[in-house]
Amino acid sequence: MNPAAIIVSEVSAAYGSKKALDGVSLAVPAGAHFALLGPNGAGKTTLVSILSTLRRPDGGSAQVAGADVVKRPTEARRSIGVVFQDSSLDDRLTAWENLEFHGLVYGMAPKPRRMMIEQVLELVELGDWTHEVVRSFSGGMRRRLEIARALLHEPKILFLDEPTVGLDAQTRQHIWHYLGRLRQERNLTVLTTTHYIEEVEDADIVCIIDGGKIIAEGSPQALKSQHGKRWLHLTPQDAETLALIQSRFPEAQALGSTALAVPADKDDQVDALLAEFRDRLLEVRFQQPTLESVFLSLTGKELRDRADGQRDADKAAGRRGGRR
């Protein structure tokens, strides 16, 4: 196991009376892809803000690349690159000018700065748009430019806070391809927060966080083996049927207001349920153990992949044509 690139010890944070993080501890090995998986409001963004020195923890301590984020923030910042959930590019500048400004802030000498700008723009396939104003870029192009900017000063650790929100599936795939290449070439440590289950299936370590607390951690396969269940997802034809199934199967979990997930580990129980209610069900499907089912088993609730506004953004991204 590689030495830890990130160490978090009993970190807590609150916004007024609301706890965002409640005694969080974790360690991320150097070169690993570490994924924080959880619903909106779980504390993921707060933790990234602390690790990137943008917010002081209310309690506990954290180190990145050996530097304490509170006691040695400048040293910590030099070791990290950050892609924020919301865009922070200056859309009045060109792609080159955005990167040039970043390089100047980090004190990069002129020649290596120019070389790295050309290199990262080619990496994210924006070489043909070097001198285009960013306001003309699509959402996918802007996100790729933000990744290029975060990598410009050659950080040891990359933080990605919901990096692909609102992007179409093809662009998301491209972004993870770039990051996979970089991890191999540079031994880059990547910590990402995401709502997209498919984006953490290939992570080295998945950390499930809910209500500001870590509730499980391990490789995707280990989590599925330890906590995953086989579920039967049902959509009853009416509220009366839904209530009746819930009364018969108290371990059933509500999926929104019109559907249920019933544990399907016992075949005889599943057979009896289907025999009794088959004609009163609009939809029936089995779900094998997944990270989604792990979250459902551990918390008793469904991991919502997107909030309403995020779903709308995804739909809009899917409808947009033109540049990707």
User: What confidence score (pLDDT) does residue 239 get?
Assistant: 94
User: What confidence score (pLDDT) does residue 295 get?
Assistant: 83
Q: CATH number, domain at 245?
A: 3.30.70
86 falls within a domain? yes
The whole-angstrom separation of Cα 226 and Cα 216 is: 10
User: What confidence score (pLDDT) does residue 52 get?
Assistant: 95
pLDDT < 70 stretches in the chain: 1-2, 302-324
- Shared domain for 100 and 156, answered yes or no, is yes
- Shared domain for 71 and 176, answered yes or no, is yes
264 falls within a domain? yes
- Domain boundary at 224, 243, 258, which? 224
**Distance (Å) of CA 52 to CA 21, 63, 137, 261:** 16, 10, 27, 38
- Domain boundary at 224, 258, 278, which? 224
Residue 320: helix, strand or coil by DSSP? coil
- Shared domain for 66 and 185, answered yes or no, is yes
- Exposed/middle/buried for residue 117 (C-beta within 10 Å: 0-12, 13-18, 19+): buried
Residue 298: helix, strand or coil by DSSP? helix
The whole-angstrom separation of Cα 113 and Cα 100 is: 7
User: What confidence score (pLDDT) does residue 231 get?
Assistant: 85
- Shared domain for 72 and 201, answered yes or no, is yes
| 70's tokens | 């509170």
Q: What does 112-144 look like in DSSP terms, one character per residue?
A: HHHHHHHHHHHHTT-GGGTTSBGGGS-HHHHHH
- Shared domain for 141 and 269, answered yes or no, is no
Domain coverage including residue 182: 4-224
What's the pTM?
0.78
- Shared domain for 209 and 83, answered yes or no, is yes
| 264's tokens | 């399907």
The whole-angstrom separation of Cα 247 and Cα 142 is: 50
Q: What does 38-80 look like in DSSP terms, one character per residue?
A: --TTSSHHHHHHHHTTSS--SEEEEEETTEETTTSHHHHHHTE
- Residue identified by tokens 């070489």 is 127
171 falls within a domain? yes
Label the pairing between strands 259-263 and 253-255: antiparallel
Q: CATH number, domain at 52?
A: 3.40.50.300
- Shared domain for 89 and 218, answered yes or no, is yes
- Beta-bridged to residue 65, according to DSSP, are none
C-alpha closest to that of 165 among 52, 279, 283, 85: 85
- Domain boundary at 224, 239, 265, which? 224
> Do the beta carbons of residue 194 and residue 220 sit within 8 Å?
no
- Shared domain for 106 and 187, answered yes or no, is yes
309 falls within a domain? no
C-alpha closest to that of 291 among 222, 234, 211: 222
- Beta-bridged to residue 36, according to DSSP, are 193, 207
Residue 227: helix, strand or coil by DSSP? helix
> Do the beta carbons of residue 158 and residue 81 sit within 8 Å?
yes
76 falls within a domain? yes
318 falls within a domain? no
pLDDT in tens, 111-146: 999 999 999 999 888 999 999 999 999 988 998 999
> Do the beta carbons of residue 29 and residue 217 sit within 8 Å?
no
- Shared domain for 123 and 271, answered yes or no, is no
- Residue identified by tokens 């191999």 is 184
52 falls within a domain? yes
- Shared domain for 100 and 220, answered yes or no, is yes
User: What confidence score (pLDDT) does residue 12 get?
Assistant: 97
Inter-axis angle of helices 139-151 and 169-186, to 10 degrees? 10
321 falls within a domain? no
CA 258 to chain centre: 28
- Shared domain for 240 and 191, answered yes or no, is no
Residue 154 CB contacts under 8 Å (≥ 6 apart), including other chains: 116, 186
The whole-angstrom separation of Cα 314 and Cα 165 is: 7
What's the total number of domains in the chain? 2
> Do the beta carbons of residue 242 and residue 257 sit within 8 Å?
no
Rg from Cα positions in the chain: 22
- Shared domain for 274 and 179, answered yes or no, is no
Sign of CA dihedral 70, 191, 205, 116: negative
